[in-house]
Chain A
Amino acid sequence: MDSDVEMNAASDEEEVMDDEDYYDYCYSDMGDDDGGDGSDAEDMVAGDYDEGLEAEGSDEVVSRREQTFAVLNEQDISERQGEDISKVTAVLSIAREEACVLLHHYRWNISKLSDEWFADEEKVRHTVGLLFTGNGHPPSRKASSITLTCGICFEGYSSETMSSAGCAHFYCHECWEGYISAAISGGPGCLSLRCPDPSCGAMILQGMINKLAKAEDKEKYARFLLRAYVEGSKMTKWCPAPDCTCAVEFVGDENYDVLCNCKFSFCWNCTEEAHRPVNCETVSKWILKNSAESENMNWILANSKPCPKCKRPIEKNQGCMHMTCTPPCKFEFCWLCLGAWSDHGERTGGFYACNRYESAKKEGAYDETEARRERAKNSLERYMHYYERWASNQASRQKAQADLLKAEREQLAKLTDIFGIPETQLKFIIEAWSQIIECRRVLKWTYAYGYYLDDKVKSEFFEYLQGEAESGLERLHQCAEKDLQTFLPSLKPDTNETTVPSVSDFGDFRVKLAGLTSVTRNYFENLVRALEAGLEDVHATGQGAATTSAATSSKKGGTKPKKKQHAKPSSDHSDDGWPCERCTFLNLPSVDVCSVCEKSRY
């Protein structure tokens, strides 16, 4: 675990170094455009952050794993299917359409098909209904115009106007068309359609379908064939998003989260929405639990909450949990615990802990008997605690998705107009939103995880990590949501007199948002890694006590267990600056307080 962390940190540093030239170039460009407004120092810091962000694709915001899946659109599926058919055609020396029905029969498993074929070709041919003489090629006849009776309509026809599947059972083309049409309207079973004679079993191949069926039926048949490739293979599944026509091929053996081209990310294993790092069993239990409890929950949560100070009803309309009551009250509080927001930041001596169930009550306010009674009081209350946080993060995520769209469609263009910065250099805003969306998803599922976690020591460690991650995310979400607004033209006319934010203000905002994005990603990576390792660190010999005490002491703003992770980068950069102990931001040597999280250097 530890060495993993170090390796990760080290490789990040390398990536940063590699990209440095490119970003220096970008930045000098920008300086020219805005008349050298920003100081050199600012430019450098901003540049540093961008590199960290750009070093990876924006598709995978939290995880840096290799892709273990491939999204296939209709054309990809068709190409792959074609390749598989070609392979089998070559290996078994048979016609393409024969390879096609064989593969369909063997659920597109080439090795199983060829094993069985070479073990006993005759048996395979018999099972699948492939004739040695070739299907669809009627036995040659010397006299070209014999009159035969169609086995379906019982009319007599010249043999030239009749067809068989290669067997001796001839039917007129009108009856073939009707036979094929009835089979195709019966569903994908038409892919293994046999000769109409009940005693025969000769397979009808695609060439025959194309020769005898109506145009619309040919098309349907081809569609069924394409679908059969995805549904038959064990490696591919359809994207469950409505109206999405892509399939996802999965080649890994763990971490089933995949991201479709339609932006829907889902768990390939259970096809629920993505829920890493929480496992499929927990998710399905939680979803079942929610549907059982939903009636109870809905009336409680559908209503707005009263402001804890002035008691006016407050409806949550933004994504982050930091609420500000309307004037004149202006009380700032946390939506989740209804406590004052000032208790939620290190700056004011508080700490973020409203992810902790009943944490306030546990701290000595109740004696042992009362605490026991309190615990027994209502299991629903405990469930509600987790459900509400799960649901709030879900809602915040949806809001963030809408905000991302808005940023992409309108806000970037406006910012370009106002500050003369090209949209390509505003990508950090998009990245911040992508990070928020991904983190809200992870955070949401950690509440399902927390509900089922019943190991006390692990719970404490888990809640510590979750709390760190959540408070980081709240800072990021607030910055993206609210700070950004100050740089956009306000709708209120009376704010015109206030000074328009300068380009350098915007530079500060950029540093802050990019920093928070990277910091939050680190927190969530820690959380995800710890949960995926089953929080095993807690029970490792000698580490248990250390971690727990670190977790406890951190409540008072003490040292953090992540210290080790950053030992290496900090030595590398001793001349350039200092990494913040809490949020990992690499600060300039000239400042003593972290530019991102405001933690003191010493």
Chain B
Amino acid sequence: MTSSSSPSRKALSKIACNRLQKELTEWQLSPPAGFKHKVSDNLQRWVIEVTGAAGTLYAGETYQLQVDFPEHYPMEAPQVIFLNPAPMHPHIYSNGHICLDILYDSWSPAMTVSSVCISILSMLSSSPAKQRPADNDRYVRNCRNGRSPKETRWWFHDDTV
């Protein structure tokens, strides 16, 4: 799966380590509703289980998010993708890449893993239909060899979902 390789795998900076420790502690105290952090000793890669909210197309279904942190997190955005199988959604590609502005251009260091998770769940919940993006095949073909979604020039045009 493309997800196994992550962008330049440099060790976390001291600032990034401290911040992630704090985020993890905070998460363990009050995890966002619908999310479960799968325990591991790897601070740089989190795997999070997400359960579709009741009353939505994804109710009861569970998916796995993989979050990779760059050396200069949180000044740089984390890389967030769905592990196979990715939910059917107009903004989620079959290789797990997510078209969501806060993961790329609109990332701010004041955001956290927790706030990103809530945004993703909200995106899932507002989906009108379980379908792939129109350009899924072309995009996935171009992403072979484990290209990171952060290298994609995203075009955010749909504010409704």
Q: Chain A interface (Cβ within 8 Å of chain B)?
A: 151-155, 169, 174-175, 178-179, 181-182, 196-198
Contact = CB atoms under 8 A, between A and B. Distances in A.
A196 B106 CA distance: 10
Interface of B: 15, 18-19, 22-23, 26, 72, 74-76, 102, 106, 108-111
9 contacts: A154-B19, A174-B15, A175-B109, A178-B72, A178-B75, A182-B109, A196-B110, A197-B108, A198-B106
A179 B102 contact: no
Contacts of B75: 178-179, 181-182
Nearest to A151: B110
Contacts of A174: 15
Contact of A152 (B76, B102, B110): B110
Contacts of A169: 110
A153 B15 contact: yes
A151 B109 CA distance: 8
Given A153-B19, A178-B15, A178-B72, 14 more contacts: A152-B74, A153-B22, A178-B75, A178-B109, A179-B75, A182-B75, A182-B76, A196-B110, A197-B108, A197-B110, A198-B102, A198-B106, A198-B108, A198-B110
Q: When A and B form their complex, which 10 residue pairs have the shortest distance between CB atoms, in order from nearest?
A: A196-B110, A182-B75, A154-B22, A152-B109, A178-B75, A151-B110, A197-B110, A196-B108, A198-B108, A196-B109
A198 B111 contact: yes
Contacts of A154: 18-19, 22-23, 26
A155 B19 CA distance: 8
B72 A182 contact: yes
**Secondary structure at chain A's binding surface: helix, strand, loop or mixed?**
loop
Nearest to A199: B110
B68 to A, nearest CB: 18
A174 B18 CA distance: 14
A551 to B, nearest CB: 58
Contacts of B26: 154
Nearest to B23: A154
A155 B18 contact: yes
Nearest to B19: A153
B83 to A, nearest CB: 26
Nearest to B76: A182
A155 B18 CA distance: 9
Contacts of B111: 198
Contacts of B72: 178, 182
A185 to B, nearest CB: 10
A154 B72 CA distance: 15
Contacts of B76: 182
A198 B110 CA distance: 7
Contacts of A155: 18
A181 B72 CA distance: 11
Contacts of A196: 108-110
A486 B26 CA distance: 91
A268 B26 CA distance: 59
Contacts of B102: 198
B150 to A, nearest CB: 13
Contacts of A181: 75
Given A178-B72, A182-B75, A152 B106 contact: no
A129 B108 CA distance: 16
B135 to A, nearest CB: 26
Nearest to B15: A153
A179 B110 CA distance: 10
Residue from B22, B72, B74, B76 with most neighbouring chain A CB atoms (10 Å): B74
Nearest to A200: B110
A197 B115 CA distance: 12
Contacts of B19: 152-154
Nearest to A177: B75
A169 B111 CA distance: 13
A591 B111 CA distance: 91
A200 to B, nearest CB: 9
